[in-house]
Structure 1
Amino acid sequence: MTTDHPNHVQICAQVRANPNFQRLTRQRSLLAWSLSAVVLAVYYSFIMVVAFAPAWLHLPMYDGSHLSLGMPIGVAIILLSWLLTAWYVHTANTRFDALSAQILQETRA
């Protein structure tokens, strides 16, 4: 990446050395990996049930029901994914953006 700004390398080094930047990258990474692990574990568990106990998903919700257990479980997995995404977006828009703005302000000073 080339730039016309002569201090670009110095500014990047200054940002990387900032303790708030290091904290930001650590927190963002931890949250992203944690949420990814939760989603993967849930999806993998569902696929394992489909592979090894598919009859369990065909059980009716209650006696006389035409709705099987698989439907609400599938909906719950989708809702969980949406909620975790919303949590990440909220955290990024509040805590991470505020920390990024602070880092930029410290770099310009």
Structure 2
Amino acid sequence: MSTPPSSAQMVERIQKNPAYQRLREKRNTFGWSLTIVMLVVYYGYIALIAFNKSFLAQPIGSGVTSVGMPIGLGVILFTVIITGIYVYRANTEFDAIIDEIMKDAAK
């Protein structure tokens, strides 16, 4: 009967695993892509506020609200949606890969 690996041995095995390296690259690329998209949307909205206030101030319909309100709400909803996308992918694809890596490291 073999003894289970120590914590240090587990960490070393995980770090040397090619699947772990691919996971890190895939997760980092995906995370940075979503970050860049979010920054473009958020700072695009801020730039619109700074440089085209008249567009955002246009009333919609009978003048109850302005164009800026639904666009701002869209920025908030976009944030929630991309967070959901990341969580979904992390809980399906990434967690499955992590489980395989942990099983390999425990051998």
What letter corresponds to residue 30 of structure 1 in structure 2? T
What TM-score do you get using the length of structure 1 for normalisation? 0.88
Percent identical residues: 38
**Aligned pairs for 1:13-24 within 5 A:** 13-24=12-23
For structure 1, the residue ranges without an aligned partner over 5 or more in a row are 1-5
**Aligned pairs for 1:29-68 within 5 A:** 29-62=28-61, 64-68=62-66
RCO (CA 8 Å, sep 6+): is it higher in 1 or 2?
2
**Aligned pairs for 1:1-109 within 5 A:** 7-62=6-61, 64-109=62-107
SS at match of 1:44: helix
What letter corresponds to residue 23 of structure 1 in structure 2? R
CA distance in 2 between partners of 1:10 and 1:106 (Å): 12
CA distance in 2 between partners of 1:31 and 1:39 (Å): 12
User: Cα offset for 1:16?
Assistant: 0.8
Q: Residues 71-108 of structure 1, C-alpha deviation per residue, up to 9 Å, x if partnerless?
A: 11011100000000000000111111110000000111
What letter corresponds to residue 90 of structure 1 in structure 2? Y
CA distance in 2 between partners of 1:61 and 1:105 (Å): 57
SS at match of 2:58: coil
User: Cα offset for 1:52?
Assistant: 1.1
The number of residue pairs the alignment matches comes to 104
CA distance in 2 between partners of 1:61 and 1:74 (Å): 14
What letter corresponds to residue 54 of structure 1 in structure 2? K
What letter corresponds to residue 11 of structure 1 in structure 2? M
For structure 2, the residue ranges without an aligned partner over 5 or more in a row are none
User: Cα offset for 1:65?
Assistant: 3.5
Q: CA RMSD in A?
A: 1.6
What TM-score do you get using the length of structure 2 for normalisation? 0.89
